[in-house]
Amino acid sequence: MSATCVIGLQWGDEAKGKLVDLLTEHHDIVVRYQGGANAGHTVVAGDQTYKLSLIPSGILNPRVVSVVTGGVVLNPPSILGEIDQLVSRGVQVTSNLMLSDRAHVIFPWHISEDRAMDGSVSGGEAIGTTQRGIGPCYRDKVGRAHAIRLGDFYRPDFRDKIVHIAAAKNRMLPVWAGPDAAPLDGDAIYNEYRVYGERLKPFVADTTAYLLNAVESGKRLLFEGAQGALLDIDHGTFPYVTSSNSSGVGVSSGSGVPARWITKIIGVVKAYNTRVGGGPFPTEQNNEIGQHIRDKGNEYGTVTRRPRRCGWFDVVAARYTSRLSGVDVLAIMLMDVLSELPTIQVCTAYEIDGKRVTDFPSQLEDLRRAKPVYESLPGWQTEITGVRKYADLPPNARAYLARLSELVGRPVDVVSVGPDRSQTIWAKNG
């Protein structure tokens, strides 16, 4: 039995998709267990680039089963669009995809609410959500009264549920979005979503039962995290977070697979930090260094194409999130992006009101005041995209990796030097 988890330790986009794709061949089942179509995971295989959002990156391997569990919020037109895209490119999407009947479904009202509410966080700065309806759908899940799960699509009262909720939302939406908010037509929504439901039906199952049977019979599971641990609703930089448990703590709640089955947790980081959307980012380089990283790393959001904010590697944050997520080993991605820089800074502590702090602050206002304390390391200023063995990396690149490993407190298992599958260094291969 084995279950491996791939967890982003920063603010998302750590190249989890690339790693999951690489690890898929050693597993039987790949599982997405939280988040929704806010995620954008890129897999580059030769001349083909795949952008996956709701479907696990494991889908590219027809031998494995890809499972979307009840912890995910599902947008039917998004997932159908993704399935159609994959099929049109020759990827098999048949009984190798399973969707949980417990998954909560995003409806048009969630997207309207997301648009209307994003800017109204107390304190002023917008969260800068992906506007995919994620927060409002999770809110309705927790609130229970206005929630619809995928399994409800196949019950006789599905139409009544939609009409009832649309009527309630029509009373609330003008309050949030203003009197001009377009009213929702419950019957029209029912007719549209009924058709989505028919198309999705072959994939719908009780994935909790399936996964429990799978682990108990020795199948190898790979859990694909979405977002990153700093965006975790409970443990991240609240309220500038997403609405699910995106750190390692979310694997069991999102999938229904108890933590006792998990044998390895891989924490994925970039060799630097990025963030999309609002909220504090102590090591942000809103200057030519940030722009250099953005250009070299093509740091533009996969889902929204927004420029990602870029900055130096933050050890305070990564040490916190690797401990929080129970990380065994690190995967350090996008190393090649730093190759031209003569000096690289690493944030080893914060200074808050004159005090040196190494525990990640729980309060946003403290994080806003945190001044990074940097350690400077010499760059390697050598092209590394063709390197395939750890020993062949330039000495300064190895020294940088060793220092990150030492500071975060975890060994490095994987180093990525380019987007392609082949541009990967496995520490075990020397």
What residues act catalytically? 13, 41
Question: Which does residue 113 touch among ligand IMO, ligand GDP, Mg ion, none (CB within 5 to 8 A, set by kind)?
Answer: none
Residue 190 vs residues 149, 229, 380: alpha-carbon distances, Å: 14, 36, 59
CB closer to ligand GDP out of 16 and 110: 16
The reply to whether 290 sits near Mg ion by the rule CB under 5 A is no
- Residue 41 Cβ vs ligand IMO, minimum distance, rounded to whole Å: 6
Stretch of 9-17, 136-144, 155-163, 173-181 lying at the interface with Mg ion (CB under 5 A): 9-17
Phi, psi (degrees; rounded to nearest 5) at 5: -120, 140
Report the partner that residue 5 touches, choosing among ligand IMO, Mg ion, ligand GDP, none (CB closer than 5 to 8 A by kind). Answer: none
Position among 3, 5, 7, 13 found at the interface with ligand IMO (CB under 6 A)? 13
The 3-state DSSP class for residue 24 equals: helix
C-alpha 231/C-alpha 265 separation (Å) is 18
- Report helix, strand or coil for 333: strand
Chain positions 240 to 259 lying near ligand IMO, rule: CB under 6 A, are 242-243
- The rounded distance, in Å, linking the Cα atoms of 97 and 180 is 40
* φ/ψ bin of 326: left (φ > 0), alpha (ψ from -120 to 50), beta (otherwise): left
Q: Under 8 Å CB-to-CB from 126, ≥6 apart: which residues?
A: 118, 119, 277, 278
Q: Phi and psi for 13 in degrees, rounded to 5? A: 60, 35
Sign of CA dihedral 388, 391, 395, 400: positive
Closer by beta carbon to ligand IMO, 230 or else 346: 230
From 36-44, 60-68, 72-80, 394-402, span contacting ligand IMO (CB under 6 A): 36-44
Among 37-45, 94-102, 157-165, 265-273, which window interacts with ligand IMO (CB under 6 A)? 37-45
Taking the least distance from each CB to Mg ion, the nearer of 21 and 113 is: 21
CA distance 268 to 19: 8
Interacting stretch for Mg ion, rule CB under 5 A, among 54-62, 162-170, 295-303, 418-426?
295-303
Q: Choose between 197 and 419: whose C-beta lies nearer to ligand GDP.
A: 419
Distance of CA 297 to the CA centre of its chain: 18
- Please report, as ranges, the residues that interact with ligand GDP according to CB under 6 A: 8, 12-18, 40-42, 44, 297, 302, 333-334, 336-337, 416-419, 423
Q: Which secondary structure element, helix H or strand E, spans residue 175, and what is its range?
A: helix 158-177
Residue 290 is a binding residue for ligand IMO (CB under 6 A): no
Crossing angle for the helix pair 134-143 and 108-117, to the nearest 10 degrees: 110
The one of ligand IMO, Mg ion, ligand GDP, none whose footprint includes residue 252, by CB under 5 to 8 A per kind, is none
Omega cis (within 30) before 239: yes
38 near Mg ion (CB under 5 A): no
Residue 337: which of Mg ion, ligand IMO, ligand GDP, none does it interact with, CB under 5 to 8 A by kind? Answer: ligand GDP
Give the up-direction half-sphere exposure of residue 123: CA atoms within 13 A in the CB hemisphere: 13
108 near ligand IMO, judged by CB under 6 A: no
Beta bridge partner(s), residue 45? 48
If the CB atoms of residues 79 and 377 are measured against ligand IMO, the closer one turns out to be 79
CB atoms inside a 10 Å sphere around CB 277: 23
Name the residues that contact ligand IMO, by CB under 6 A: 8, 11-13, 38-41, 127-130, 132, 134-135, 226-228, 231, 242-243, 276-277, 302
Contact set with Mg ion (CB under 5 A): 13, 40, 302
